[in-house]
Amino acid sequence: MYHLIKKDILMQKRALKLSILLMIFFSFTLSNLGAAGLTIGILAITYQLVLGASALEDKNNSDIILISLPIKRTTIVLSKYVSIYIYAAYATLGFYLIYLIVNLLNLPLAISFDLTVLIGAIITVTMFCSISFPLIFKYGYLKSKMANLIIFFVFVFGGTGLVSYLSKNNKLMLSQDIITFFSNKSDAVILMISMVLLILIMICSYFISLTFYQKREF
């Protein structure tokens, strides 16, 4: 699995250089959104690298080569899911270094970086990839490209719009119930519940992707 992840990273040397420029660009353009802006930035970089690897594999017909090797399909699928968090960690580290440089040089940018950014990034990236990956493993990158692009923009614009709508409409019974439930819980409990739900979602997504990939004909 390590070599599969390493292969994806080495194939994207140019994309990694581009991602640094994108992180700088997002830091300037999304800084006014606070933690939400950085979360969107981390999702965008992860999206670029995760789907970039899939695009190169489709272009080079790498799947045909991989399944002809003594590598289990379970390992191939699992390596993709693990790589999600490697790319997300890379993006998070990049934005954090920019945040440190901005503070060190006292640049006039309102970049915030705290636990909220990290938690928001993990949740957003996990939810996006748990939907995106089954499509890629069933249809391939090229056939699912448009659907994944739509999903990406739904997460970026729809997610922020939903949060804004719920915060402005306190009379919604569902939002009141959620707020009441979590207001009685400690931060550690809330974090634990969130992580358990994310893990369950990702496990379900993994097995769906594995089922699609095992049935897929190349």
Residue boundaries of the structural domains of the chain: 1-215
Kindly tell me the number of DSSP H helices and DSSP E strands found in the chain. 10, 0
The whole-number mean pLDDT for each consecutive block of 10 residues of the chain, a chain of 218 residues, reads 83 88 87 76 90 84 79 90 93 90 78 74 88 91 88 76 51 48 60 83 94 83
* pLDDT at res. 190: 65
- CA-to-CA separations, 34 to 16, 47, 98, 156, in angstroms, rounded: 24, 20, 14, 14
Q: Determine the Cα–Cα distance for residues 184 and 191; give it in Å rounded to an integer.
A: 13
